[in-house]
Structure formats: C-alpha cells, structure tokens
Structure 1
C-alpha cells in the first residue's frame, strides 16, 4: 500500500511540475542570446550560446544570410555569392563578397558568411568601443592582407590546407581612425612610445577570441608579427 501511495505522489509531483512549466512558460523569459532555439542576430551579445549558433551557420547558408539581414543599416555592404571554384582544388561555399561594414577596408574581400557575421559583431561590439576607449575616436578603416588564398598552412608542401583556402580566414594588419591616427600590428604591438596604441591592439586581440574560432597574433610566431589572423575553425584557440 505504501509503495502504491509513494508512486502516486511521485506522479502527482511530476504532473504538478509539468503543469507549472506550461502555465508559467519560463522559456519565454530567456534572453534571445541565451536561448538555443532563437535565431542569432547581429546585435546579440556574444555568449557561449551565441557562439554555438554562429558555428552552426557553417552548414546553413540560408540561415547565415538571414542573420546578415538583421544587421542595422550601414553595418555591412555585401554580395552573397554562388558556390564556385576560383582556383582548382579550392572550392568556395557559403561565401559573401564584403565591400564595407561600419568601416572602410583597404580592398574588398571574399569570406565565408559566418566569418562575415563574426566580423560585424566583433566590430560593432568590441572594436568601436575600444577605439573610443583608447584613441577617443571612431574606427573608420581596416587595412588587411586578404582572405582567400588557395594554399597549405605556411605554404608547406604536404601540410594541411589553410583556412584561407576556403576563405574562412581574414588577416588584419592595421587600423585607421577618424582623428587621423593609425595603428599597425607590426609597429605598435609592443610600442613603448605609444602605449595606448599597443593597449588597443592587445585588447582587440583578446576581445576577438570571443568571436572567432581561432585568433593568432604577433605573440604566436614570426609569420604573424605583422597581422592578426581571424578564422572560423575551432572553438577558442587564441594565441
């Protein structure tokens, strides 16, 4: 008798919990940037859940383009490209051609759509605030070393393909600001005569680690002494 009563009470408790959940609908109060089933948007804060959603865009080109459509006016000027193979052995899929974002670039470039999403989020949420913090000025231009390059890592024969071979990487060499100042990764990474420029670069590098799967800079190795390498592979390799 006690066993039957215990089971009955257990089931009543379970039903009570389910009823309370249906009535209160707690999932509706989860912020969208923490809700795993709400679509990602450009202005969502970058949380662990946001980064997970960003990684899923690699396999969902249409959803990725939908996320770019959530960008505020002027946040990005891009052209979605059909899949194509510009160089034999290096097919490109889920890519966009970026003309500008909230800043100008030294030239247009082609990157994977998820990397474009990550860049715009990073630029709006981190780079521009850091520019105001360290230089009291808006960031207006980014000088880069390119995105797509059909090659192996470090051009080594027999090595695995670089993320650049799929346009899933973007190399940034310098920044220009509305007040006329410029910052170069090569010149100012450890510049003791312009510590505020060095501080901007260090903070930008660290902040990027929350948005890109892999972030490499001058402290990683000599080939990266003159640029930041941002790519969409991995889930937090930051050096």
Structure 2
C-alpha cells in the first residue's frame, strides 16, 4: 500500500509553534538583557542611588520610610556624608525617628540655606538624587553653570495641613517634607519661585524642569500652579499612600 502523506496543515501548525517559541525565547533574552542594564525601571530591583531615575525610583524611595537602616546604607553606598539626628517626639502626632542632616562641606551635596536642614531619610535620599539627576543638569542646560546653593523654608514643623486648628497633620509634622524656595547660581544670580515662576525665559523654564523632575522622585510635589499657598515654594514630600502608589504632581 502507498504510504500516507503527512497532512500539510499539521506541518504548518508545528512550524508555526516552533517559530512562536523561538520568537518568545529571543524576546525573553532581550528583556532579560534590558532588565540587567536598567534595574531602575523594574519594581523588584533594589534601589541604588547611583542609578538614573527610573519608572519605580519614586516608589522605592517612599518605601524607605519603613526601613531607616536601609535608607542610611543607601546614602553610605552613594558616598553621602550625613549625621543621623536624635529621635524627637512632640505630642502624639509630631516627631521623627529617621531624620538625617547632610554634613556641611560634602562635595556631593549642594548646600541648603539656611544651613543644618534636617529631613526624614527618604526625603534626604530623594533630595540627593534630585540634585544630581535634575537640578544640576537643568542649571547646566539653561544657564551653562551649576547651582551653588538651594534656599528652603524648612522641613520639620509640628502642624496640621495649612496651619489649620483641626484636620490631618502635615507631612512636615514628621520631617517627611521640605519646602524649596529658590536657587543660587555660580555667578551669584538668585532664582526664586516667588519672583520667577510667572516670568518668561530661562528662569521660569528651569523652575518647571526642577518641579517636573521632582515628580519622579517624591510622592507629592506642589508648586505655584497648585494654589496661592505655594506661590513661593515647591512642597516636596514622601507621603506613603499604600499599594496604589498614587502620586500628586502639580
């Protein structure tokens, strides 16, 4: 009897499956290589302050609020010089256990004015990355010089939101926030939120760039675009909003 010919349809299905598997394996290898080269864009890779800002960097920084030793180790690994502040308690709602202060003279950190700014460690880690990856590149891009000082309006303040007599406490009540008022360039020029946000030109563009860059690092960023209460500063905080990872950027 003549041998039966294999059904052409079956051969095509087998070939199609093999091709699909080969493509999937190739894409998996590409994805693995990409992940190894871009750990900042994967949710499971440990945070590294030497890496560029990635899709999950902001969430990883917020998570440091539950692990002060890990936050300090990250700063140590990045070569940041700092002093851990003694725990502070002021009533049931105010105080901190995880605050640090950047050491004066650290060449990696642009000085804050007034000096001796203390913040919760996750805020400090984000501020370091913000300086390195956002503020200084924006200054070079717009003015071809570096920022030499960053003006602030403080961090810790035992108060409720907007200074009200009732309602939720501010992130400032745990040093988990900082208000940035302006920047001084290497030539002495001062750029402020109050004076330059609404202007045209390089100063306003720079301020918007540093605001937008902060949105990738902080859980909350509020600027003069938000309301009149923020007309003279950027409010930056690391509020933990749970699994949703909801972030505020305005």
| TM-score, structure 1 normalization | 0.82
Match of 1:213 among 195, 219, 225: 219
Which residue matches 2:6? none
Displacement of 1:91:
2.4
Which residue matches 1:61? 68
Match of 2:91 among 88, 91, 98: 88
Give 5+ residue unaligned stretches, structure 2. Answer: 1-20
Given that residues 44 and 50 in structure 1 are in contact (C-alpha distance below 8 angstroms), is that contact kept between their aligned partners in structure 2?
no
2:237 paired with 1:226:
no
Displacement of 1:48:
2.4
Match of 1:155 among 163, 179, 204: 163
Total equivalences in the alignment: 215
- Name whichever of 54-63 and 100-109 sits farther off: 100-109
Displacement of 1:177:
0.8
Displacement of 1:56:
1.6
2:125 paired with 1:125:
no
Displacement of 1:180:
1.8
Q: Give matches, 1:149-228, under 5 Å.
A: 149-192=157-200, 195-228=201-234
2:57 paired with 1:50:
yes
Which residue matches 2:40? 33
Given that residues 149 and 165 in structure 1 are in contact (C-alpha distance below 8 angstroms), is that contact kept between their aligned partners in structure 2?
yes
Q: Give matches, 1:11-22, under 5 Å.
A: none
Comparing both chains, which one has the higher relative contact order based on Cα–Cα distances under 8 Å and sequence gaps of 6 or more? 2
Separation in 1 of the partners of 2:188 and 2:224? 24
Separation in 1 of the partners of 2:109 and 2:199? 27
Given that residues 95 and 175 in structure 2 are in contact (C-alpha distance below 8 angstroms), is that contact kept between their aligned partners in structure 1?
no
Q: What whole-Å deviation, never above 9, does each CA across 1:150-203 have from its counterpart, x for those lacking one?
A: 0001111112100000000000111001122110110000123xx111111111
| TM-score, structure 2 normalization | 0.78
Match of 1:136 among 126, 140, 144: 144
Which residue matches 1:10? none
- Say which one has the larger Rg: 2
Cα RMSD for the two superposed structures: 2.4
- Name whichever of 178-187 and 140-149 sits farther off: 178-187
Separation in 2 of the partners of 1:218 and 1:36? 32
Give 5+ residue unaligned stretches, structure 1. Answer: 1-15
